[in-house]
Structure 1
């Protein structure tokens, strides 16, 4: 990374950055219950959390812990499995049964993978081994659990909204005959699906032609089965928008009439199509966070178990190489041991906490910095880069150095996968509650069916995928990186919110 850094002037009226223990939505500081029988460890954890701005409750055994959960309702629980009286496993299971939405982080001296897996089965949200060598990792774990809880609450609220307020939502009302030809659609077709009612009604075969190709047989079977059984149904599938992007929808029938051959009456299905894209987006986001947290809980133990035999094999191979310098086998073992050691280091570096230094910064300056850094490699690739960012954009409270790394990683995809002769657009828009950085590029090869997989680490045999590092840095900045397929390329979006709690909403609304 260049030593240059986009540091704009710092306006005095910028909003303060929220500390880790900032007051949550229920109006009081975030409360953490620490369950630990060793008073020295318990008090040291409590003191560190208090310094971070959290309200801390302490319990030395399982009975006190359960009582504290029922009476004081903490936001997060740190649970030692080796507590006296009721076993830690039993306390964990009881907490999961009584308060399934309460994040419980196991802090245990048991370092076996089997213990961690069993804890997750009993309802743990994360797993940390003692002694805790890096308290910042504990703080990161607590923040991750709080974020996952907020996502779950939002997802539950949306499910309730779709089931209880469906009549008041803008939905597509449709009617199909038994040949699956559209006979009626309301004006909401334009705002929800992107197609005008005239396009949908006048084009023969419009409905099935615009169902996503991987869903067509399932949709055809469901609608045909409804005609045969003359029963209502509900089905989730994807429909293609005019931009060629799949949109998740749910079809609910309100009336089904089978064909009447004796009277020459065609069959008819009347129903509604509901846009589920926002709910699906939040579900994917929650799954990603849980995958990353599970990986983080196990990686230290896995690295420890792998590193010792790798070192032993490397030492043995070096001895063989000294005795038999012409033996190719010893060189192969040394090469493979070095490759495994590098992979272990990449895993640990990827999951290590990042020091964030927030200050007022200009995203326009960050984009210009990234463009300057990528100018030469993109020019060699034959890709031009156009930046669209107004200098009047209000400053955001973030770390400009880390933001620059994220944006360089996003636009840098064009260096590896851009089409020579094409243009990559790097732009920034103000959405009121935050700003949205977008990178739109054409790609040389077809994209995977699920573009979101490019954000997950270790998707191939060569280590972390390039965007996975940008995604992880974005999460450390309380931002969110999202990937979406376009008809002939890729759209990468980075949401930089004013309030970190609004980050999912910024992208879901897009």
Structure 2
């Protein structure tokens, strides 16, 4: 029998935003209720008791702040996610202080953020319910103990032995372990008999022990000690992150500490992944802003460059028309010079200068064109990409940096490559990042870089290889290259996001990025791109 769909209440006075969020949630399988203000939202909430509430903070009749405050007081178990415009962090902090469980900004640009936020909030609600149920069961157990000591002890030990959480009973005040359930043995890797007679703080990191000992020593009556993240180690020396909740109970005539422990290592890793995703999103926004800035700069450069090109042609015509007059003058005035040059050298020199101006202007125009193409955002679907053109564009953009760092840069483009699936601008972004990394790895100008393309005979599509004669990398570094925030150049401004973003771009294109390297022998970065597929026709040969 399938579970009933989760019901979510959306409160927002902006109809378009409200209906857009409701449509998104319904597509994800949720049952959605809508309200246009806080008062109407509370009526629906009391009538239908939804699982989760999204509320805008700025609304007429009753604001979202009032909704959060009312629900926190009257239905604290119902999770609330506040919504407000980008930049209103003060409102977010106020809403969280009033009791909101989460916060998202409007307009909502990333639908994955909604799903992640909902999952996190529902998981927290589940843990709150579990904790409440757990506390209620334990209180019931204590009440039973006061009525029938033997029966309550039997029930307690059934609960104690079979519980999924690690449970340890400690003597006070020395914190010597009196008993431990099988889950505790599994958590720390010790047989139950080896756990007994040890002191509880010894399982935790040295830095954690003073606070742990002091907190447990203060437990009296109904008070409890709670720490979400405590560093510990198991028998094999593996580092753990453990949550601990402890309180005093009475067994027979003895007061002991009941310590419930849960392995939070996986939860911490999931939270870190969420933070990494949020940081990637921020980085993507920064890159978009840089793209807009680059496009604006390219436009501003284009105008004076057009003036240079036009004036150069006009000056060349003027020079050609004046050359016979100057030659006649030079014939009657031996030793005649222009700009410090004997007149006999002037025509050849001037032609070279005019040609240099024309070539320089064309070069500026080509670079501006590539920059504007690179800054232009991609479309909504995969499109065909010319591998050689993408490589040439990336090299053109990096031409100045290449000539500044190495005397040996080689480009090997294989002819007749099939188009590959992907956005040209994003492929160029990956190539710029890989070539820049290769340049930074060179110890001197005499070391070289080779960028080559080839047809991927095994998988179809094409490959691009960036091979450098740099310092290379160790196996440990190579294994972590695409991890977010991992960088060997943090001290010189590296963010550790370039290769992570490049790897994500290629995976989204259905491609792959792999590295081969050895310390002192350089590195090869290899891009595999799938063939472009035309609907109804298959891959383009």
So what's the TM-score if we normalise by structure 2? 0.41
For CA contacts below 8 A with separation 6 or more, give which structure has more relative contact order. Answer: 1
Larger radius of gyration: 2
So what's the TM-score if we normalise by structure 1? 0.42
